[in-house]
A and B are shown apart, each in its own frame.
Chain A
Amino acid sequence: MVNLTVDGRKVEAEQDWTVLDAARVAGVHIPTLCHHESLPPYGACRFCTVEVTQRGRTRMHTSCTLPVKEGMVVSTASKSVHKIRRMLAELMLARCPDSEPVIKLAAELGVHESRFPYPRVGKSLKIGEDEDCIMCGMCVRICDDVMKVGALAFEGRGGLRSVTTPFHEPSEVCRLCGACESICPTGTIRQRRIADQEPREIPFEFEQGLARRKPISLLFPQAVPKVPVIDANTCMNFKTDGCKICEDNCEAGAIDHSQKDRTESVNVGAIVVATGFDMFDAEDIPRYGYGRYPNVITSLEFERLSHASGPTGGKILKKDGTTPKSVGIIHCVGSRDVNHQEYCSRVCCMYSLKFAHLVKEKTEAEVYNFYIDMRAFGKGYEEFYKRLLSEDVNFIRGKVAEVTDVAFAPEEKDKLVVVAEDTLFGMVRRIPVEMVVLSAGLKPGGDADQVAHLFSLGRGSDGFFLEKHPKLAPVDTVNDGIFVAGACQSPKDIPDSVAQGAAAGAGALSLIDRGSVVLEPITANINPDLCGGCKICVSNCSFSAVEYNPDKGVSEVHEELCKGCGTCVAGCPSGAAQQSNFEDRQILSEIKGILS
């Protein structure tokens, strides 16, 4: 510990602190322009100059670069210090009269104008014209020292000093990480100018690409565990071994860039498969215009738009930032359709009604719901539909043929026209709207076949996981100990998913809680002396109860999984496989007895 005095206050400092650190701890304000916690100190702006008395000698020094020493006496507000600072402010103001941080700092010091004329000779980036660079060097330092890329550097001296790239050419090494742009206090640096490329925005998956995220981000507000995740594909540390600003700033020391993926083996007694669903891809129906017209959006995108924590703060806006005056909501996109999914996705009618209600609540827009049937099957659902009828939402019963921007009449100009059948009126209607929401259906997850294979799950014709019995065992599967729950078993909404989750959990608990498993007395068994290892029995078993043992060269029956159907026994060519109480010789005796 080092003891020093700052403005009369005693400060206990660590060995490696600077005077600026010590002053901050003492609660003394020292103005800075080129200082940043994540950057090594540079002493460029000189604003942090203080008067330091040590061993009888007094001198002026920049506090950001001066290490603390025992017995130092620091004065941050003496007359000389003030004089220096005001002069610096005037000089800086002369150089950058339009820069906000400079104007602000100068004003703090009581300087409002500069008596020095300054011909604008030095440009901040030779690549383009810009006068607001204050030569703080933060962009250079962050690119070089922290990001370990070094695309920017200072060039020239005095009035000709500027920040630029080698030979003033667009940088070949710039990683478009955006660090310089984010740290520049005056907004002078732009990635576009350094690398001659558009900066890459990382689309935020949870916000459906409507917002961007950083390489380190919280996946979504309800994530479990609720901790940020580092995306190794975009994080600079994985590209240049630099940055790690997040790690430096983390007070809990919770960040470790050296973590690697690892596979862990866990022995369990029961498994609940609740792997969810994927949204139907609206681009598969090109005539609805998704991907072509900017104001045709999917239901998930609308969810983010209308959510208070979303990219627009909950305001329903078109892509140009204005509020739509009319919105069309198209039901059954991808569902109840022989060309795509034949089943009904169950949740879309209700969420489409919710959207209609939200639009009415948040805007003055006219709302049109294009539906086939109104599926309001749950508690309070029909009442909600009735409410919307009284909120003047327009309901048009009929399939939508297309969404087009070709106008046939003056009121359709510059609008999206929804061409739909109106079966109640008995005609085809063209409804011009400013925004179209496609209520896309639910489909099995993209990796459903791999998951099914992993857990020996059957899949129905619609691709969702097969339950043991649609009415009597909706969360069990044919394999004891493996349960399914939620939308992976069939499209369903939240209350039903929760109920199934609880049911599957209860099923799993009752299994493992019992401590023992009741076996069928009619299980199959294989005589290893007769078995030739042909594995016909293995392929015959629907319950994964027969397994080939490569060490012994024979197949074996897992009694606890065997259901006692005997199919493997019938297929066995050598008679090695038999079924207890239904052995071949028993049945053959029966036959003989019956027919004699």
Chain B
Amino acid sequence: MAENSFEPKIMGFLCQWCSYTGADLAGTSRMQYPPNICVTRVMCSGRVDLTFVADALADGADGVLIAGCHPGDCHYSEGNFRTMRRYSMLLNLLDQFGVEKERVRLEWISASEGEKFAKVVTEMAESLKTLGPLNWKERSANYCGAL
């Protein structure tokens, strides 16, 4: 069996106060995790518009990670509750477009949980390797063709 040489691209949206700092901690602690993730910083996970996720998937990401503070600990008090709500709506949407739920994950990572960040990225990379590339261009062409 040929070795699977597919390397998934994960787009990460990390909130400034908790998850971004947590990822930083993973780095300074020299924790090993796969290089598949590229992150961008937002002030709060509540800033994450669902169109960002959609655009990321359309622009070549095979998976998206949204990470924020634990519920109750949001630096802005309730921003992550709104993320939770939007995420469940997003899952519905993905389902309708035939995109696997496992590709988009919402995780709560606090500023001290560097290890958790590394673990989550490792797990995501592995599961995306199994799922295979998203190939959005092909999928959307098929989708539109089917219409």
Contact with B along A569-596 (1 / 0, CB 8 A): 1110000000100101001101110111
Closest 7 CB pairs of A and B: A566-B47, A567-B46, A565-B76, A565-B44, A542-B77, A595-B60, A594-B38
Q: B50 — which chain A residues lie within 8 A by C-beta?
A: 570
Interchain CA distance A596-B52 in the complex, whole Å = 15
Chain B min CB distance to A585 (Å): 11
Q: Which listed residue, B9, B52, B76, touches A563 by the CB 8 Å rule?
A: B76
Most A CB contacts (10 A, CB to CB) among B43, B47, B51, B79 go to: B47
Q: A587 — which chain B residues lie within 8 A by C-beta?
A: 40, 42, 49, 52
Task: Tell me, yes or no, whether A73 is within 8 Å of chain B by CB.
Answer: no
Q: Evaluate contact between B43 and A570: CB separation under 8 angstroms.
A: no
Closest to A587 in B: B52
Contact with A along B38-81 (1 / 0, CB 8 A): 10101110111111100110011100000000000001111100
Interchain CA distance A596-B60 in the complex, whole Å = 7
Task: Tell me, yes or no, whether B137 is within 8 Å of chain A by CB.
Answer: no
Q: Evaluate contact between A569 and B55: CB separation under 8 angstroms.
A: no
Task: Tell me, yes or no, whether A522 is within 8 Å of chain B by CB.
Answer: yes
Chain A min CB distance to B7 (Å): 13
Q: B46 — which chain A residues lie within 8 A by C-beta?
A: 540, 565-567, 570
Q: B125 — which chain A residues lie within 8 A by C-beta?
A: none
Interchain CA distance A522-B17 in the complex, whole Å = 14
Task: Tell me, yes or no, whether B101 is within 8 Å of chain A by CB.
Answer: no
Q: Evaluate contact between B59 and A595: CB separation under 8 angstroms.
A: yes
Q: Evaluate contact between A579 and B47: CB separation under 8 angstroms.
A: yes
Q: Evaluate contact between A567 and B40: CB separation under 8 angstroms.
A: no
Task: Tell me, yes or no, whether B23 is within 8 Å of chain A by CB.
Answer: no
Q: Evaluate contact between A595 and B56: CB separation under 8 angstroms.
A: yes
Task: Tell me, yes or no, whether A564 is within 8 Å of chain B by CB.
Answer: yes
Task: Tell me, yes or no, whether A314 is within 8 Å of chain B by CB.
Answer: no
Q: B86 — which chain A residues lie within 8 A by C-beta?
A: 570-571
Task: Tell me, yes or no, whether A400 is within 8 Å of chain B by CB.
Answer: no
Q: Evaluate contact between B55 and A588: CB separation under 8 angstroms.
A: yes
Task: Tell me, yes or no, whether A458 is within 8 Å of chain B by CB.
Answer: yes
Binding site for B on A (CB under 8 A): 458, 478, 522, 540, 542-543, 563-567, 569-571, 579, 582, 584, 587-588, 590-592, 594-596
Q: A590 — which chain B residues lie within 8 A by C-beta?
A: 40
Apart from the given pairs A540-B46, A565-B46, A594-B40, 18 other A-B contacts in the complex at a CB distance below 8 Å: A540-B82, A542-B77, A543-B76, A563-B76, A565-B76, A566-B46, A567-B46, A567-B47, A567-B76, A567-B78, A570-B46, A570-B48, A570-B86, A579-B47, A584-B49, A591-B11, A591-B40, A595-B9
Interchain CA distance A30-B44 in the complex, whole Å = 87
Closest to B40 in A: A590
Q: Evaluate contact between B43 and A564: CB separation under 8 angstroms.
A: yes
Q: Which listed residue, A540, A566, A584, A595, touches B43 by the CB 8 Å rule?
A: A566
Interchain CA distance A121-B59 in the complex, whole Å = 114
Q: B43 — which chain A residues lie within 8 A by C-beta?
A: 522, 564-566, 579, 582
Most B CB contacts (10 A, CB to CB) among A458, A582, A594 go to: A594
Interchain CA distance A478-B77 in the complex, whole Å = 8
Interchain CA distance A458-B77 in the complex, whole Å = 9
- 10 contacts across the A-B interface (CB closer than 8 A): A478-B77, A565-B44, A566-B42, A566-B46, A566-B47, A579-B43, A587-B42, A590-B40, A595-B38, A595-B60
Q: Evaluate contact between A565 and B40: CB separation under 8 angstroms.
A: no
Known contacts A587-B42, A594-B11, A594-B38; is-contact A567 B79 (Cβ 8 Å) = yes
Q: A579 — which chain B residues lie within 8 A by C-beta?
A: 43, 47
Q: Which listed residue, A542, A569, A594, touches B76 by the CB 8 Å rule?
A: A542
Q: A478 — which chain B residues lie within 8 A by C-beta?
A: 77
Closest to A594 in B: B38
Q: B residues 11-56 with Cβ under 8 Å of A?
A: 11, 38, 40, 42-44, 46-52, 55-56
Q: Evaluate contact between A591 and B82: CB separation under 8 angstroms.
A: no
Q: A542 — which chain B residues lie within 8 A by C-beta?
A: 76-79
Q: B9 — which chain A residues lie within 8 A by C-beta?
A: 595
Q: Evaluate contact between B49 and A591: CB separation under 8 angstroms.
A: no
Interchain CA distance A587-B60 in the complex, whole Å = 15
Known contacts A540-B82, A542-B79, A567-B79; is-contact A591 B47 (Cβ 8 Å) = no
Closest to A579 in B: B47
